[in-house]
Structure 1
Amino acid sequence: MGEGGQGIRTTGADVLVDTLLANGVDVCFANPGTSEMHFVAALDRKPELRCILGLSEGLVTGAADGYARMTGRPAATLLHTGPGLSNGLANLHNARRARAAVVNIVGDHASHHLPLDAPLTTDIESLAAPMSNWVRRVKDPADVGPTVAAAVQAALTPPGVATMILPADAAWGTLALATAPQKAPIEAPRPASAETVREVARLIRSNPQGIAMVVSGAAAQADGLAVAGRIAAACGIQLFNEVLVAHTQRGRGRVAPARIPYPIDMALATLKDVRVLILVGAPEPVAFFAYPGMPGRLVPEGCTVATLARHGEDLKATLEALGDELGVSPTGPLPTAGTPTDTGEPSGPLTEDAIAVIVAHKVPEDAIVCDEGVTSARRFFALSAFSAPHDLIMQTGGAIGDGIPLATGAAIACPDRKVICLQADGSAMYNIQGLWTQARENLDIVTVIFSNRTYAILHAEMRNVGVGEIGTNARQMLNLDNPALDWVSLARGLGVEAAVATSCEAFAALFSAALSRRGPFLIEARLA
C-alpha cells in the first residue's frame, strides 16, 4: 500500500519501462523535456533500465546507433516532442543507413492539449517517417504496452529504426488492471531461397573472371567473412566492404576485404573490370553525388548485379549454402592480408598518414575503432588488416557528426573493451557534447582529433565538381582556422582530460599512454 492507504498505481510510463525491459531493451539514451517527466519518474521505480543523459539529441540518436551495432539489439532513445526528434534526425539517418536497431520514444503533448497549437506542437509523424522504418502513436495508457512490443519487433525484424510517439496523458494515465508486460515475437532470419543460391552459383561458374562480392551485416563479421573468403579464394572473386562500413571485424588472421573507395574516380577504377557483382546484405554501390560528366552507378555498363541475400535474411547461412553449391571446402585455409608495407614507426611532423600508421600499429586486441576521420583517416582501413583483431564501425549515411556519438554508444555496449574514435575536427563540433557524457559515465574512449582546421572533404569536392580556383569567400566556408579550435580547452571544459601532439613522436607517446589507462582521453593531433 502507498501513502494514505492508497494502492500503488501503474501508469503508462511504468508499463513502458516494464515492456522495454521484458523485451531486452535495458539502455535508454535520453534528452527529456516536460512531456517525458513521467517516464523519468518511472526510472526511480525501475533502476534496471539504465538511462544515460545526452546534452544534444544528435548524441542520443548516434549513441543508440553505436550501441545497436555492437550488441545486435536496440537501445531506446527518449526525445522531447518534434523539435527534439528533429535535432536527432541526422544521426537517425546514419542509423537507418547502417540498418541498426533503434527504438525511439518521442514524447508529445497530452492528446487534449494538441488542438491548442502550443509552441512545441508539431507533426511528429511526418518528421519521423523519412528516418524510420516504422512509426506509431500511442492512443491511451492501455495501448502503451502493445505499442512498445510492436516497436521492438519492428526494430528487429529486420533491424531498423522504429519510432513510437507517446502523448503525455498516455504516460501519466493509470491502468485499471495491471498485466504482465507483453513480449514481442521475434522470428530468426531465414537464408535466401535455394533458387537464388543456385542462380548466383551459375553466374560464378559461367564467369571465370571479373566477379566481385560486396559484404555487409553478418557477412562482414569474422565468421561470415571466413565463409565469404573461402568462396572468394576458391572462385577468384574480389571481396569488398561497402564504401562506408556499418560494422566489420578486421585484423590479423581475419579475411580482409578491400573497401570501395569514396572518391568517384578511384571507385570507378576499382570496379572497372567487374562483370558480375554479387551483393550479400549490401545495396549496389553508387556515387555519393552527381558530378559533371561522371556516371551515378559505379559498376561498368553491362555488369550483372545479383543479390545473393538481402538485409534481414540469414547472410552467413546463405553464404554457407553458396559454398556447398560451389563445392568449396568449409575447412580450407583462410585468405588473409599479405605483408604490411609500413613496418616502422613514423617520425617528424605529424601527418594524416603517420597517425593512421601509428594507430594501426598500436590498436589493442578486441578494441572497437569508430572512424569518422572522413578524408584524414582513409588510409587506416587498409592498414587495419594487419592490426590486432578489432571491430570497426563508421559513419554510414554521409551526415557528419556521428563519430563521438557512435563511440559513446559502443563504449556503453562493451564496457570492458577499449574504444578508439578517429574524428575529423569539423564534424566533431556537431556533437561535441558527447565528451561530457563520456566523462560522466567514465567511458573508456580515446578520441583522436585530426586537427587540420578545415573541411578537407569539401576542398576535394570543389575540385570534383570542376571548381579549380577557390577564392576568399569560398575559403571562408571551408576553413576552420579563424579562430582555430582549441581542442584541449574544449575537452577539459567538458570534463575530459586532453593533450595536444604536433609530432609523430609526441602523438605515439600520448596514444600509448591513453591506451594504458582507463577513462576518456582526447588527443588533438595538430597536423603539419
Structure 2
Amino acid sequence: MNGAQSVIRTLVDSGVEVCFGNPGTSEMHFVAALDSVPAMRGILGLFEGAVTGAADGYARIAGKPAATLLHLGPGMANGLANLHNARRAHTPIVNVVGDHATYHHRLDAPLESDIDALAGWLEGWSRRAVDTESAGKDAADAVAAAMDSPGRCATLILPADVSWGEGGVSSPPAARSARPSVASGTVRAVAADVVADGRTTILLGGEACRERGLRAAARIADATGAEVLVETFPARLERGAGLPAFDRLGYLAEQATRQLQSAARLILAGAVSPVSFFAYPGRPGDLVPAGVTVTTLAEVGDDVTGALEAVADAVAPGAEPTVRAPLRPPLPSGPLNVRNWADVIGALLPDNAIISDESNTSGGGLAAALSGAPRHDVLMLTGGAIGQGIPVATGAAVAAPHRPVVNLQADGSAMYTISALWTQAREQLDVTTVLLNNRAYAILRMELQRVGAEGAGAAANSMLDLSAPNMDYVKIAEGLGVPASRATTAEELAEQFSAALAEPGPHLIEAVIPPLL
C-alpha cells in the first residue's frame, strides 16, 4: 500500500466518503488511489474555489467532513476565499494539499510556495506528512481535528514522495474531544437574569439555529417576554411552518442598532457579540448600545442547545413553544422586481428544501416570503467572501441527494465560481439556481454611499456596473451543461421554477430584475 492509498482508506474509515478536488501532478498518486478505495467518491471541480465551497456545503448538511484535494500552494490559495467562509461557519473540512517531493524543495521549482503559511491563515489544524508509514495516522488526526467542537478546517500537506512511497498503513479513527457542556451555575444565572429583566435579547448562533435550539429559545421568549434574534448570517438555519420564527440581526449597522436599542441585557447563545461588517467614518463598529450588559450563555463550541433547553426548563417547565403556522404568499404577477421574485419562491418552495442563499441586495424580502413555507434549511454567506452560493448548493446536493436544493444567487457573486454548474451537470445534481440578474454590483453601489466616498462619477460607477456588455447567463449555463431559461415576469418565473423542480438534474433560471439602487 502506498501513502496515498493509506490516506484515502483512513479517511473513509473515519467517515469521510467524498473528496471534491482539482488535482495536479503532485496529487496523481492520490487520484490513482481512488480506484483502489471505491468507497471514496471523487468529484471534480473546475476551480479550487468551487471545490472548497462544495466541501463547505456538503459538511453543513451532512454533519461530517468532506475532503478537498488541492494542488500545491497556488491551488490552496485559489480555494482560500470559500475556506474563509467555512472557517466562519465552523464547518469541518479536511484539506489534502499535495506538495513537491521532499527532496525537490531545494530546487525552488516554479510552483514552490509556503503551503504551511496558507494553512495557518485558516486558524485551524495543519500538519505536514513527513513519511509514508505515518501518513495514515496523520489523516486520522486531521479528521478528528476537523470534527472537534466547533468544527474547523484541517489541512494535511502531502508531499508527492510520501504519497507514492510504499509502506503506507491505514489508521483507525482517532479519538475526538467531547463537546463542552455549560456549567449549571451559568444556566441558573442566565435563567434568573431573563426572568428578572424584562428587556432581554437573546442572540442565537451556530447549532442554536436548528430546531431544538429554536424551540428552546421560543419557550424562553414566551415565558419571559425576551426578544430572540438570529445572527446575521447563520451557517445553517432551519425555518418554515411548524418552527419558531425569529428575525435575523440586520446586516446594516443602523438596522442592528435599532433592533438592540431597547435591550438592557444581551445573552449570547452560540453567537458572538455583534460588530459592523466594515468601519464607517464617524460610526462605532461595536453594535451593542451603551449600557447593555452582554452575557455569554454558551460559546459556539459548547453544547449550546443543551444550555438553551436547560434555561427553558427552568423558566418554562413543560411548555410548548409558539411556532409559525403554514402560510404562503400569493403568486404575484407583473414584471419582476426586488420584492415579488421572493414571493414566487415562497409560494412554490417544495417541502424539505435546502436553500443556498447568496441573493445579497436582491434578497431583502426573502425571509418574510419564506417564513410560513414548508420546512427548509437555509445556508448563508457566513464569512462575506462572495462566490459561495453555487458551490455550497453543489455540496449540499451531494450530501442530500433526495432533497431539493435551491440556489438563490446574485449575478456578480455567481461569476466568481459559476464553473460549479459544470460539476452539477456532471454529477446530475438536483439543484435549481435562480440567478438574480440586476447587471450590477448593487451592494457596492450602496456601500459607496454609506462610506461617504465623495466625488464618485462616471469612472467610479463603471467599476460597479455589469451591463457593458450584458452577460447571458442562459448561454453560460447551457455551455456548462445545465438547462437554462430566462424570466422577466413573475408569471414566467413561477412557470420555469415549477418546471425545474419537477425535472431531475440541475437547472438555471436567469431572473432579470432592476437593481435596488
- Percentage identity across aligned positions? 49
Residues 1:87 and 2:78 aligned together: yes
CA-CA distance at 1:86 after TM superposition: 0.1
Paired with 2:131 and 2:367, the residues of 1 have a C-alpha distance of: 49
Aligned to 1:300: 289
Q: Any conservation in 2 of the 1:360–1:384 contact (CA below 8 Å)?
A: yes
Q: Distance in 2 between matches of 1:204 and 1:230?
A: 12
Q: What is the distance in 2 between the residues matched to 1:123 and 1:92?
A: 17
Corresponding position: 1:312 with 2:312? no
Which of 429, 433, 439 is the aligned partner of 1:453?
Answer: 439
Moved more, 231-240 or 402-411: 231-240
Say whether the 8 Å CA contact 2:51–2:68 is kept in structure 1.
Answer: yes
Kindly state the Cα deviation for residue 339 of structure 1 after the two structures are TM-superposed: 8.7
Give the SS at the match of 2:133.
helix
Contact 2:128 2:156 in 1 (8 A): yes
Aligned to 1:520: 506
Note the 1:30-41 alignment, pairs <5 A. 30-41=21-32
- Residue 180 of structure 1 deviates from its aligned partner by 5.2
Distance 1:264 1:501, change over 3 A: same
Asked if structure 1 preserves the Cα contact closer than 8 Å seen for 2:133 and 2:169, the reply is no
Deviations 1:336-367 (Å, cap 9, x if unpaired)?
34796x73221111112111111011111100
1:371 equivalent in alignment to 2:360 = no
Question: Are the counterparts in 1 of residues 242 and 326 from structure 2 also a CA contact under 8 Å?
Answer: no
- Residue equivalent to 2:320: 333
After TM superposition, the structure 1 = structure 2 runs for residues 151-190 of structure 1, keeping only pairs within 5 Å, are 151-158=142-149, 159-175=151-167, 179=169, 181-190=171-180
The more displaced of 344-353 and 401-410 is 344-353
Map Cα deviations across residues 439-469 of structure 1 (whole Å, 9 max, x no partner): 0000000001110000000011011112466
For 2:134, the equivalent position in structure 1 comes to 143
Contact kept in structure 2, 1:12 and 1:172, CA below 8 Å? yes
Report the TM-score when normalising by structure 2.
0.97
Whole-angstrom CA distance in 2 between matches of 1:456 and 1:475:
11
> What are the within-5 Å matches in structure 2 for residues 232-251 of structure 1?
232-251=221-240
In structure 2, the partner of 1:272 is 261
The alignment partner of 2:272 has SS state of coil
Shift of 1:333: 2.9
Q: CA RMSD in A?
A: 1.4
Q: Which secondary structure does the structure 1 equivalent of 2:365 belong to? A: helix
Establish whether residue 416 from structure 1 lines up as the match of residue 402 from structure 2. yes
Give SS of 1:448's match: strand
Q: Which amino acid aligns with 2:355?
A: V
Question: Where in structure 1 are there 5+ consecutive unaligned residues?
Answer: 1-9
User: Normalization by structure 1: what TM-score?
Assistant: 0.95
- Offset of 1:382 from its aligned partner? 2.8
Aligned residue number for residue 184 of structure 2: 194
Once superposed, which parts of structure 1, at least 4 consecutive aligned residues long, lie more than 3 Å away?
337-340, 467-470
| Equivalent position of 1:7 in the other structure | none
The one-letter code sitting in structure 1 at the alignment partner of 2:107 is: L
Counterpart residue number, 2:389: 403
Are 1:273 and 1:300, in contact at CA under 8 Å, matched by a contact in 2? no
CA contact (8 A) 1:132 1:163 kept: no
* Structure 2 residue corresponding to 1:11, chosen from 2, 20, 31: 2
Deviates more, 1:223-232 or 1:11-20: 223-232
Decide which of 353, 360, 383 is 2:339's aligned counterpart.
Answer: 353
Distance 1:235 1:130 in 2: 43
**Alpha-carbon distance change, 291 to 339 in structure 1, aligned in 2, over 3 angstroms:** farther
- Cα distance in 1 for partners of 2:195, 2:487 equals 53
Show CA shifts across 1:376-402 (max 9, x none): 112212322111111110111010000
Aligned AA (1:63) = A
> Per-residue deviation at 1:179?
4.8
CA positional deviation for 1:37: 0.4
Offset, 1:54: 0.2
Answer yes or no: is the 8 Å Cα contact 1:258–1:382 preserved in 2: no
How many residue pairs get aligned? The number is 513
Question: Does residue 60 in structure 1 map to residue 65 in structure 2?
Answer: no
* Cα distance in 2 between the residues matched to 1:65 and 1:500: 29
In 2, the alpha carbon distance for the partners of 1:339 and 1:488 equals: 34
Unaligned runs of at least 5 residues, structure 2: none
Whole-angstrom CA distance in 1 between matches of 2:248 and 2:171: 44
Amino acid at match of 1:336: V
One-letter amino acid of the structure 1 residue matched with residue 144 of structure 2: Q
